[in-house]
Chains A and B, each alone.
Chain A
Amino acid sequence: MDGTFLTASDDLQGRVIGILAAQALREPSGLTLDMTLDGLGIDSLGMAEIIFAIEEEFDVMVPFNANESDAGAETLDLRTVGSVCAAVEQLLRSRRG
């Protein structure tokens, strides 16, 4: 682990990590960007809850189909904490654009 710890100053990352941490039953401070959701013990139902929470929190629509989560070709990369944060940033950007 490269130990990229996050600070509360990054609002978006902090909010996303709060959602992931709640689902992983951990403290937000214990999550790093390189951690995988799989490694955090988040299963398919947990994933559905995370998507729901992100959509509610950021008022975006996350294009995610559980049947394609492994392939990830047409959907967002949601495998790690960092990639989920990046995906949400991207969704917010495209919504503003």
Chain B
Amino acid sequence: MGRRVAITGAGTVNALGPDVTTTWAALAAGRVAIGPMDFEEIDRLTVRIGAQIKDWDGAAHFARQEMALYDRAVQFACEAGRQAVAQAGLDLSDEETLRAGVVMGTGVGGQTTMDDSYRAVHAQGKNRVHPFTIPRLMHSAAASHLAMRHGLKGPAFTVSTACASSNHAMGLAFQMVRSGAAPVMLTGGSDAALCFGGLKAWEGLRVMSPDGCRPFCASRNGMVLGEGAAVFVFEDWERAVNRGATILGEMVGFAMTSDAADIVLPDPDGAVRAMRGALGDAGLNPEDVGYINAHGTATAVNDRSEALAIRTVFDAPPPVSATKSMHGHLLGAAGAVEMLAVLMALGDGVIAPTVGWQREDPEVLGLDVVPNVARRAKVGAALSNAFAFGGMNACLAVRRA
């Protein structure tokens, strides 16, 4: 067995709120941040709803030189990282900084930077784009800036597995701390794809809902995108305890599987193996799990496949909720923001609801989806699912501290 892994800091910027406290309150209240979006050329889109961060003022957080280098997704990541590090109260020794690192997830990287640049050269006929276009749009930018801002000189990289990116990122960070390779890791995900080009591409797949995200409901008709970031501090348990840190939860298990089947359709078998793998890695039995944060995209096929997988792993499934109904689908940041719902269930004993749920779907019978209203429950351990396009599955197991 390796070392135990404590979560000692959390930060976020998403459509539910600019920090963890506000986000937790919104999740507990069942507040929906999905609504009409506002950005350039939105009148050319058929899907015009999303969980957009409306009141973001990057210049209030970052200097002018930083703003020139930070895509919107990087701004969210850096602010979330600042909050997480501040909460953890990290004070790394020189030796520790050489081994501490960052693993971030992103699905689409600097999408708004790309969109603006293409518009400039193609639509507006300009012959040059912003000189920092490349360092702004690269997928690894958020990891780089977090490493620079916090002086983390060990392993730093970004993983990109579509909608499972941040679960893969957090799983790898967990393994690094557990193995003793790193005493502390910053990890999570960020994405900001709410721009004309980003949405236009999603429209083409015909999986977007025009009117709302209603996971596991018979009336569900597709996913709704969101944007934002969440970043956590994963820390060697002994280190955290010795310095008297507040521990938000204990990462105990991680498993990743591949369906090896289809580029968009999920195969329940891959999800089953991921959940069983995470339980096995954590040394948990199915009956130990008191809450599952579902991938729950509200597409017809995901929810059907995920429900089948959960019923296969659990004889008596625990409460399952899909918080994408509130904060939208943040793509490569989805699992990270959803980890906040997991920590709320473990720490506060409040299970966030599946909002927008109207009526039972015969295809997802047998699941208690915590419809519309949050619930008090003593949760000792929880799973967080991410089942991405292309059959990339990543499941995390977390225990109450």
Residues of A within 8 A of B (CB): 43-45, 47-48, 51-52, 61, 64-70
B209 is contacted by which of A43, A44, A67 (Cβ under 8 Å)?
A: A67
Structural contact, A61 and B206, CB atoms closer than 8 A: no
A67 is contacted by which of B204, B263, B265, B300 (Cβ under 8 Å)?
A: B300
In the complex, 16 of the A-B residue pairs with CB atoms within 8 angstroms, ordered by the A residue number, are A43-B265, A45-B263, A47-B206, A61-B46, A65-B207, A65-B209, A65-B210, A65-B221, A66-B222, A66-B300, A67-B207, A67-B209, A67-B220, A67-B222, A69-B300, A70-B300
Structural contact, B263 and A65, CB atoms closer than 8 A: no
* 6 smallest beta-carbon distances between A and B, as pairs: A67-B300, A66-B206, A67-B222, A67-B221, A66-B207, A48-B206
Residues from chain B with a CB closer than 8 A to the CB of A51 are 206
Task: Report the bound CA distance from A67 to B304 in whole Å.
Answer: 11
Given A64-B206, A66-B207, A66-B300, residue A44 in contact with residue B221 (CB < 8 A): no
Structural contact, B205 and A67, CB atoms closer than 8 A: no
Residues from chain B with a CB closer than 8 A to the CB of A69 are 300
Structural contact, A48 and B220, CB atoms closer than 8 A: no
Q: Which residue of A lies closest to B300 (CB)?
A: A67
Most chain B CB neighbours (cut-off 10 Å) among A44, A64, A70: A44
Structural contact, B221 and A68, CB atoms closer than 8 A: yes
Residues from chain A with a CB closer than 8 A to the CB of B263 are 45
Task: Report the bound CA distance from A17 to B308 in whole Å.
Answer: 37
Task: Report the bound CA distance from A23 to B314 in whole Å.
Answer: 40
Question: What 0/1 readout, one digit per residue, does chain B (186-223) give for beta carbons within 8 Å of chain A?
Answer: 00000000000000000011111110000000001110
Residues from chain A with a CB closer than 8 A to the CB of B222 are 65-67
Task: Report the bound CA distance from A52 to B203 in whole Å.
Answer: 11
Shortest CB distance A65–B (Å): 6
Residues from chain B with a CB closer than 8 A to the CB of A48 are 204-206
Most chain A CB neighbours (cut-off 10 Å) among B206, B210, B298, B300: B206
Task: Report the bound CA distance from A47 to B222 in whole Å.
Answer: 16
